[in-house]
Structure 1
Amino acid sequence: FSTRAFFFLLPDFCSFRYGLALFLHCCNVLITAQRTCLNLTIVAMVNSTDPHGLTNASTENLQDNTKNPVYNWSPNIQGMILSSIFYGVVFIQIPVGYLSIIYTVKKTIGCALFLSSLLSLLIPPAAEVGEAYIIACRVVQGMAQEIVMIAQCQVWVKWAPPLEQGQLNSICQSGFLLGIFIVLLVTGVICESLGWPMVFYILGASGCALCLLWFVLFYDDPMDHPCISISEKEYITSSLQQQVSSSRQPLPIKAMLKSLPLWAISFSMIAYYCASSTMLFYTPTFINSVLHVTIRENGLLSALPYLFAWIFGILSGQISDFFLTRNIFSIITVRKLFTTLGLLLPATFKTCLPYLTYNFHSALILLILSVAPGSFNFVGSLINALDIAPRYYGFLRAVTSSFGVIGSLAATTLTGLILSQDPEYAWFKVFFSLAATEVIILIFYLIFAKAEIQDWAKEIQETRF
């Protein structure tokens, strides 16, 4: 039976839509690497012996190696450079979500990916000129990367059959996690062997190459693609007949604001973003303060949870769609089940972290379990907007992600304040507050979440009768 099932499923996994999901997976790996690599390269870029230097550009006595120019950036300037990637994100998300409904996804993603890659190539010369230029590059780069992240959600409105949305979305979204793992693992090696500028040059050149492939391989509508098989075209279009149409309707803003299922998704985004961002930014600090390992070991330990998160993300899509295709669970049951796993499991293990840090192996296992299960949200609340309003999915994903970004900024800022003011009990407060947020929002989601297409998201002619 298992052999027959394998050969039955093989044509689907070799289909063009799964190839598209894998290609977007690679795009997400790349833009995540471009976004987060500076967190590590800045260690090599800054003169650690003179952290409060007054000059912006590198000086001759600091340039022991032309491959690694060093700059006298104060800690405040370093903080501004690192956080500048998020400055434009909050303001760009909702406009991009709206424009992704109007303009072609092919041009939107392709141009944004090229812009992000070009700016990655420009960061080393911008740093040579002054910190204001590198901040400007990072602000625009962050906006371009957010355009890629939001616009790709609109791809699955026309390319993902309802029973495969979990698999295709999880393959695509898990690229963000693999990108973090690769950056934490490889960036230090490149800095030591080739110099820190090569990190940006390699990632920028790779992005330009992916951009060219995107314009060649992707079409907005599967019916227009010359390479996809006729049977796959018919399967995709027939499965989406009742879900999406080409007609444009004005956004029902008032109805959206009154929609409790949409608010449930928005709040769940806050919980997911708060937890994931805080763990991403502060896991190296936690490891350093508790386990006292070397920098190289810290990078490896910080990366390991994201390798497991990537694996969990891929598996969650397969399992969720298995439940749906076999009619084991309904769509709303699947969404609530995986959201519960994605919020409750990390919350539980976070509360255990402060008590078991005396043992290296137990701390490592708890770190993995505090991060990796969050990937279950990919087929839970993070894709739920596609169930309740497929025609507005790109816009709604942008709106709900905006809630998440604002929450993550607040959470990371508050975590910094807690760590600076209460060093003795800081980690207890950080992990318990994150866990409490996840549990409270999970309860709200379980009560109000829906999976049926809402009345305000249906065709106008359907709602007239």
Structure 2
Amino acid sequence: MTTEIVLGAAMKKSAMETSAPSPSNKPSSTGNIGMRWWDARRTFVLLSFLGLTVAYMVRVCLSIAIVAIVKKNVTTDISDSNDTCPLPDGAITDNDVGVTFPAMHFMMSAWVPPKDKAKYWSLLGSGMQIGTVVAMSVGGWLCSTTFLGGWPSVFYVFGGLGVIWAIPWFLLIHDLPEHHPRISDAELQYILEHRHYAKRDKVVAIPWRHIATSPPFWAIMASSFCYNYSFYTLLTELPTYFNKILHFDMSTNGLSSALPYIVQCLASVSWGMFVDILQKRNVLSVKTVRRLSTSLALYSSAVCLIGMMWVNCDPTVAMVVMCLAVGLIGPIGSGSPVSEQDIAPNLAGTLKGLTNTLGSATGFVAPAVTGAITKGNHTVSAWNTVFVIAAIFNVIFCTIYVIFVTDKVQPWNDSEPKKISVSVIPQ
């Protein structure tokens, strides 16, 4: 036993000496006293937050521009309508955002230890809400001006911000902390000692069979499905509910459109900070944080969805309930969205690609289900059915997540290097 401990310590020291930059290139105080107040991880989180903000600004601005284009085309001569290009859809933009999350989760696995993920992902992920709010407010204003031709200005402005953001990202961010030339010794040692990610120099085969038969993975899939289904039901279908049932046009009030996102952002960040404090005091384990955060988000959202059945045709009460329903989803940022990094940090990008695909599919499943129920039947009882279905999904699939999820790294996380067969043609 003693030999194994000594050998393990020697191997860890060797790995640190090999992967860490030379101490002579850094101030000696950082390695002896502690990490800097602003370290490489914070730079990564800040620029990732700004990246998601810009990505969602670009994503939302497309929808805003389409509305402006349609309004402008209405004034054109109808005889020329067959000689115009069809209006664009959101496919290209959504695809761009779709590849962002797997890449981000891969880097989170390498840079952020498990106990820090709740805080950092809640901060990083709030860029989605901030980007949406900024795009909805600034984008609408740009379309109404003559700056750069009106609606084209949203693409120039938000696209230009993306180019500006890319400059510090490529200059300051590195895939792995071991490759960062300016990281302190103390920070590098902290990351390497506490993370579960293992750097691999060889291409490995994805263990598809083990993934497909893994209960924790399917628990994450269940949470991703119900979270996104209820989210898209609330954000894409409630404006129709307000218009058809409560006779209130949300599109004419910028605050009513942006307020749910603001509440969600505040809830996500504040909850992430709160559970981070509890983790540092050893009050909550990583597994408990994941379960508690996901349960709070999905169960409370289910309650609010049911509550929509008793708003008594009052737009103000309905707006309050909707803000609570969307806002209380915020704590999920410290829960299931980072579970892929817990169970398989080496494959976090691949797993997030799978769970995000299912979640994104609800973006058209939820409107399709709602449309099938309310087509030609915009009644209170029909919309109550829509809310009940989403609430039931939340309760059932969240319960599955709570039962089967774990924070333990799965055995199939360490895959064997891929074997490449070479066929030799006889002479």
Which digits, 9 at most, give the CA deviation of each residue in 1:3-48, with x for residues without a partner?
Answer: xxxxxxx977632212211211111111111112222222221147
Partner of 2:316: 361
Tell me if structure 2 keeps the 8 A contact 1:273–1:407: yes
Tell me if structure 1 keeps the 8 A contact 2:373–2:386: yes
Q: CA deviation at 1:268?
A: 0.7
SS of 1:131 mapped into structure 2: coil
Partner of 1:165: 117
Partner of 1:140: 92
| Code of the aligned partner of 2:351 | L
Partner of 1:442: 398
Partner of 1:222: 177
Once residues 433 and 51 of structure 1 are traced to their aligned partners in structure 2, the CA distance between those partners, rounded to angstroms, is 43
Partner of 1:41: 65
Partner of 2:224: 269
Once residues 161 and 60 of structure 2 are traced to their aligned partners in structure 1, the CA distance between those partners, rounded to angstroms, is 16
SS of 1:421 mapped into structure 2: coil
Partner of 2:24: none
| Code of the aligned partner of 2:128 | F
Partner of 1:18: 42
| Code of the aligned partner of 1:338 | S
Which digits, 9 at most, give the CA deviation of each residue in 1:161-211, with x for residues without a partner?
Answer: 222111111111121112122222222211112311111110111111111
Once residues 56 and 146 of structure 1 are traced to their aligned partners in structure 2, the CA distance between those partners, rounded to angstroms, is 33
| Code of the aligned partner of 2:43 | G
Partner of 1:313: 268
Q: Normalising by structure 2, what TM-score?
A: 0.82
The share of aligned pairs that are identical, in percent, is: 28
Residue pairs, 1:244-283, within 5 angstroms? 244-248=198-202, 249-283=204-238
| Code of the aligned partner of 1:441 | F
Tell me if structure 2 keeps the 8 A contact 1:27–1:210: yes
Partner of 1:131: 86
Q: CA deviation at 1:406?
A: 2.1
Q: Normalising by structure 1, what TM-score?
A: 0.75
SS of 1:219 mapped into structure 2: coil
Once residues 416 and 102 of structure 2 are traced to their aligned partners in structure 1, the CA distance between those partners, rounded to angstroms, is 26
Partner of 1:452: 408
Partner of 2:55: 31
| Code of the aligned partner of 1:268 | S
Higher relative contact order (CA 8 A, sep 6+): 2
Tell me if structure 1 keeps the 8 A contact 2:101–2:353: no
Once residues 185 and 294 of structure 2 are traced to their aligned partners in structure 1, the CA distance between those partners, rounded to angstroms, is 36
Partner of 1:302: 257
Tell me if structure 2 keeps the 8 A contact 1:291–1:360: yes
Identify if the C-alpha distance between structure 1 residues 414 and 54 changes in structure 2 by more than 3 Å, giving closer, same or farther. Answer: farther
Once residues 399 and 50 of structure 1 are traced to their aligned partners in structure 2, the CA distance between those partners, rounded to angstroms, is 44
Partner of 1:432: 388
SS of 2:375 mapped into structure 1: helix
After superposing the two structures, state which structure 1 stretch, 221-230 or 207-216, moved more.
Answer: 221-230
Tell me if structure 1 keeps the 8 A contact 2:207–2:415: no
Q: CA deviation at 1:226?
A: 2.8
Q: CA deviation at 1:253?
A: 1.2
Which digits, 9 at most, give the CA deviation of each residue in 1:209-257, with x for residues without a partner?
Answer: 11122111111122322333332222222222x5423254322111111
Tell me if structure 2 keeps the 8 A contact 1:29–1:179: yes
Once residues 308 and 155 of structure 1 are traced to their aligned partners in structure 2, the CA distance between those partners, rounded to angstroms, is 28
Which digits, 9 at most, give the CA deviation of each residue in 1:355-392, with x for residues without a partner?
Answer: 21533432221011111111211111111111111111
Once residues 176 and 220 of structure 1 are traced to their aligned partners in structure 2, the CA distance between those partners, rounded to angstroms, is 22
After superposing the two structures, state which structure 1 stretch, 49-58 or 296-305, moved more.
Answer: 49-58
Once residues 317 and 19 of structure 1 are traced to their aligned partners in structure 2, the CA distance between those partners, rounded to angstroms, is 18
Identify if the C-alpha distance between structure 1 residues 382 and 130 changes in structure 2 by more than 3 Å, giving closer, same or farther. Answer: same
Once residues 427 and 54 of structure 1 are traced to their aligned partners in structure 2, the CA distance between those partners, rounded to angstroms, is 40
Once residues 40 and 158 of structure 1 are traced to their aligned partners in structure 2, the CA distance between those partners, rounded to angstroms, is 36
| Code of the aligned partner of 2:398 | L
Identify if the C-alpha distance between structure 1 residues 167 and 26 changes in structure 2 by more than 3 Å, giving closer, same or farther. Answer: same
Partner of 1:324: 279
Once residues 168 and 57 of structure 1 are traced to their aligned partners in structure 2, the CA distance between those partners, rounded to angstroms, is 51
Once residues 37 and 121 of structure 2 are traced to their aligned partners in structure 1, the CA distance between those partners, rounded to angstroms, is 14
| 1:396 corresponds to which of 351, 375, 380 | 351
Q: CA deviation at 1:453?
A: 1.0
Once residues 264 and 36 of structure 2 are traced to their aligned partners in structure 1, the CA distance between those partners, rounded to angstroms, is 24
Q: CA deviation at 1:349?
A: 0.6
Identify if the C-alpha distance between structure 1 residues 295 and 316 changes in structure 2 by more than 3 Å, giving closer, same or farther. Answer: closer
* Higher gyration radius (CA): 2
Tell me if structure 1 keeps the 8 A contact 2:139–2:154: yes
Tell me how large the CA RMSD over aligned residues is: 2.5
Once residues 410 and 345 of structure 1 are traced to their aligned partners in structure 2, the CA distance between those partners, rounded to angstroms, is 22
Query: Number of aligned pairs?
Result: 378
| 2:366 corresponds to which of 379, 387, 411 | 411
Which digits, 9 at most, give the CA deviation of each residue in 1:395-416, with x for residues without a partner?
Answer: 1111111121223321122112
SS of 2:253 mapped into structure 1: helix
Partner of 1:181: 133
Partner of 2:21: none
Once residues 322 and 79 of structure 2 are traced to their aligned partners in structure 1, the CA distance between those partners, rounded to angstroms, is 39
Once residues 181 and 357 of structure 1 are traced to their aligned partners in structure 2, the CA distance between those partners, rounded to angstroms, is 29
Partner of 1:340: 295
Once residues 447 and 219 of structure 1 are traced to their aligned partners in structure 2, the CA distance between those partners, rounded to angstroms, is 37
Identify if the C-alpha distance between structure 1 residues 196 and 295 changes in structure 2 by more than 3 Å, giving closer, same or farther. Answer: farther
Residue 376 of structure 2 corresponds to residue 352 of structure 1 = no
Q: CA deviation at 1:421?
A: 3.3
Once residues 40 and 256 of structure 2 are traced to their aligned partners in structure 1, the CA distance between those partners, rounded to angstroms, is 36
| Code of the aligned partner of 2:173 | F
Q: CA deviation at 1:50?
A: 7.2
Once residues 260 and 295 of structure 1 are traced to their aligned partners in structure 2, the CA distance between those partners, rounded to angstroms, is 41
